[in-house]
Each structure stands twice: as structure tokens, then as C-alpha cells.
Amino acid sequence: MREQLTAIRATATDALNQADTLAALEELRIQYLGKKGELTAVMKGMGKLSAEERPIIGQLANEVRAEIEGALEEKKAALETAAADAKILSETIDVTMPGRRSTKGKKHPLTTVLDDLKDIFIGMGFTIAEGPEVELDYYNFEALNIPKDHPARDTQDTFYIDENVVLRSQTSPVQVRVMEQQKPPIRIIAPGRVYRSDAVDATHSPVFHQIEGLVVDKGITMADLKGTLEVFVKKLYGENTRMRFRPHHFPFTEPSAEVDISCFNCGGEGCRICKGEGWIEILGCGMVHPKVLSGCGIDPEEYSGFAFGIGLERTTMFRYGIDDLRLYFENDIRFLEQF
């Protein structure tokens, strides 16, 4: 047994000297000192020794174990130091190399114009209201005086989740929800994404943005609507901008109008942007229909109101002279970095 211990000491020392990884070192520890290791096996056989030999062999076995454990710890420390040194060398920064300039992001043009619109209307006392994009048919159509099978639904063909749930085709449902939950006076704008089943081209997209406004109070007239919109267009397009109303029809307003502004590019003389007309249509508006008010629990004999809807993509196109709204969504850095 003395010869076995001497052989284990020699082979273990040689193997530890040759180990070059921590994984290999762990394998050697298990091989010699583990529960089924070579040294453990020898020590389990000590019961067969005579009483005179047992203390001598036991002392030798402990010496061999201590030497192997000491050599393991020493080798482990050396390997860990070597690994740390190698990591430091591999992560060394060459300060003579040219640096990489970090690219700063900026606001999307739609976000920039939306923020400007919010500032204008908040400055006039409006608050911002939000509502769900997945909407009930009732709020998207029926509460806005557009019953089932009404022809007006054809111009707002949207995406149906089922018979009673749709992707909203306008942000007008937010107005209805606010009127149901809040007593007049009301003065809100409702910006957000809307959806319509339109083919994608330079001026149409199945996903776009609207900002709708609503004012309800006692004594609200068409003059209040006109004054509000005049402040809006002059702040957005300049003090020299002129505005005109054209009669139109919307089921949820009566009377209704389309609003044009003098072309900001040619000043009304006629150009490519306004197609030679001198005027550009920017939004629809009107006085809130009495049926819509009464459906929301507001007495139309006591209160009146006006509403308007602005297309964010179109407004942004006019502001920056963009001729294809698909550019907004293609994430082309060459386009976006201009703004």
C-alpha cells in the first residue's frame, strides 16, 4: 500500500503540472480525491492492515492528500491569473484607433407636427383625450348618427374583428366616450391612429392618423368654430394664410363644411401643390348634430358644440412639401434625417 501511495503522489504531481485549463484541473481532483478517486480507494483498504501498519500508512495517506490538495490550489490560482491576464489583453482598447461617432436620433416628422398641433390647441384651452383603437361598432358608427346600412359607411370601410367590433375608422368615437362621461363644458382634441380599408398609394394608407377636436358648451356657434380654426391655421401656416369654408355633409355634424386654406407655396396664385386652384383642403368640420348630443345624454336644447377632424399625414405633407405619404412608414434614413 505504501508503494500505491507513492505512485499516486508521483502521477498526480506530474498530471497537475501538465493541466492547462480549470476544467482539466477539476477532472484531476475528481480522479484522485473524489469519492471514487484513487487515493480514496487506497484509504478504504486500510482496514485490512495490521494495527502496527495502520498509523504509518494513515500518516502517509494524509501527507499525500495534503500535497495533492496544495498542488491543486496552487495550479488553480496560476490558471485563474493566466485567464484574467489573457482577458485583459484581449479587451485592450487601442486608443490610437479612430473613434466611432454615435448617431443621434430625432423626432419623426409626424411626431414633430403632432406636437406642434397639441401645443396650439392646448394654448387655446383644449385638453387631450384618448380612446381604444379597437372599437365597438356602436361608438365608431351608430353613436355618430351612422346606423347600419347607412351609405356613409361606404366611405369609411374599415377592418371588422367581428360584427360588433372594428378597428376605428376615425377618432370621433373618443368624442362620444368623453361626452358620455363628462358634463359640458367640454373642450378636447383626440389624436391617434385610425384604420380604413384603403389600397396603399401616394395619398392613401390603411393606417393613418387623425386629430379630432370637440367643443360643447352653452351658446357655441359656427362663429366660434371659425375663430378657433382661424387661430389654428395662422399659427401653423403663418399669419398671411387665408381660410374658406365650403358646404359639405357629415352625418355627425349639421351644418357641416370642408375647410380650405390659401396655398402656402404660391399664396393662392396656383401651383403644382394646389393643382392650380390656389386653395388646399385641410380638414372637415361642423356643428355637432343634435342626435349625437342627445345620444350622449346632453340636452341639445341647452347645449351646442362644434367638431373638426384633421389628417396628420396630409398636414405634415403640406408643411414639408412631401408628395408621397408612404415615405413616412418606410424607415428610409435618407428621408427621415432631413427633418
- Comparing 26-35, 134-143, 284-293, the range with the smallest average pLDDT is 26-35
Q: Write the pLDDT tens digit of every residue in 141-197.
A: 999 988 887 776 676 678 889 989 999 999 999 999 999 999 999 999 999 999 988
Average pLDDT over residues 246-255: 91
pLDDT range class, residue 12, cuts 50, 70, 90: confident
Q: Write the pLDDT tens digit of every residue in 120-132.
A: 999 999 999 999 9
Portion of the chain with pLDDT greater than 70, in percent: 92
Tell the CATH superfamily of the 109-336 domain. Answer: Bira Bifunctional Protein; Domain 2 (3.30.930.10)
The residue behind cell 490538495 is: 69
DSSP state of 34: S
* pLDDT score at 148: 81
Question: Is the per-residue pLDDT at 42 higher than 80?
Answer: no
**Rounded to 10 degrees, what is the CA torsion of 137, 138, 142, 147?**
50
pLDDT range class, residue 304, cuts 50, 70, 90: very high
* pLDDT score at 84: 83
Rounded Cα distance, 213 and 286, in Å: 11
Q: Write the pLDDT tens digit of every residue in 82-107.
A: 888 888 877 777 778 787 888 777 88
pLDDT range class, residue 115, cuts 50, 70, 90: very high
Retrieve residue 103's grid coordinates: 448617431
Domain boundaries, the chain: 2-90, 109-336
What pTM was computed for the model?
0.66
- Comparing 26-30, 300-304, 309-313, the range with the smallest average pLDDT is 26-30
Retrieve residue 336's grid coordinates: 427621415
Alpha carbon of 124 to those of 7, 57, 215, 257, 336: distances in Å? 95, 98, 11, 22, 31
Average pLDDT over residues 304-314: 94
Buried b (16+ CB within 10 A) or exposed e, 257-287: bbbbbbbbeeebeeeebbeeebbbebbbbbb
